[in-house]
Copies of this chain bind each other. A is one copy, B any other.
Amino acid sequence: MTVSRLVKVKKACQNCNVRELCLPTSLEGVELNLMDEVVQQRIRLQQGDYLYNTGDGFKGIYAIKSGSLKTSGITIDGKEQVTGFHLGGEIIGMDAIDEEIHACDAIALTDTEVCHLPFDKIREISIQIPPLLKDLTRIMSREIRREEHVLMLLGSTTAEQRIARFLVNLYDRLQKRGELENIITLFMSRQDVGNYLGLAIETVSRQFKNFRDKQIIEVDKKNIKVLDMQRLLEIAE
């Protein structure tokens, strides 16, 4: 099902123009340069579609144009473990470069558009255009640091602190992408939040209530309005 979608999109959008079709406004210079040179196709995903599955052969990395995805692996005992949420302007799939096999699933959480960046071509062009090589290493380095950051996030002891840090992080990323002032759109389920943060969904729900009671946020299903960012930052520390 996902595969047929991919094929269809491929036909519809060969060599699409980067600037026109595949550029989230939030993309920073490094991604922009890279994409400009190597983008070949745009892929549309509906909510729930897989961009790739664990075990899939590596075909390249993906720049997220719009929408959102989660990456999640399967632990040895068969349970899902969400390892990250990804927004427009970010690049995913770099964990598969080494072994040429994807080590996790990437699933669209909303309708999403990504640009496929064939990695062989990236390498090829990086040799011809040295500044692009710098961009490439910077992008990969950033991903390493992002994951280190998640590790720090999970280091917090209390559920309250984890949720606060999660919200602050998401807020920052959404604001950077020009989303509505003070609104955090949770594009993932409570289940995914809990899984990601190592908390039961009930705990996630109760912490939202906790912050609501303290007049720090307003919760309307998937939309969270931040009323008191100062307090939220204090709790996150």
Which residues on A are within 8 Å of B, measured CB to CB? Answer: 71, 73, 75-79, 81, 83-84, 94-99, 103-104, 119, 123, 126-127, 130, 133-134, 136-145, 147-148, 150-152, 154-157, 165, 195, 198, 236-237
Contacts and interface: CB of A to CB of B under 8 A. Distances in A.
A134 to B, nearest CB: 7
Contacts of A198: 154-155, 157, 198
B151 A137 contact: no
A142 to B, nearest CB: 5
Given A143-B144, A144-B94, A154 B154 contact: yes
6 contacts: A76-B165, A95-B141, A99-B141, A136-B137, A143-B144, A157-B198
A130 B81 CA distance: 36
A131 to B, nearest CB: 10
B147 A144 contact: yes
Contacts of A78: 237
A179 to B, nearest CB: 23
A151 B148 contact: no
| 7 nearest CB pairs, A to B | A77-B237, A97-B141, A147-B147, A98-B141, A81-B155, A98-B138, A140-B140
A151 B137 CA distance: 22
Contacts of A237: 75-78
Contacts of A119: 137
A130 B141 contact: no
Contact of A141 (B76, B140, B151, B236): B140
A95 B156 CA distance: 21
A180 to B, nearest CB: 25
A15 to B, nearest CB: 24
A95 B141 CA distance: 5
A99 B148 CA distance: 14
A145 B150 CA distance: 14
Contacts of A165: 76
Given A99-B145, A147-B151, A151-B154, 14 more contacts: A73-B148, A75-B155, A75-B237, A76-B236, A76-B237, A81-B152, A95-B148, A96-B141, A97-B137, A98-B137, A98-B139, A127-B133, A137-B140, A143-B144
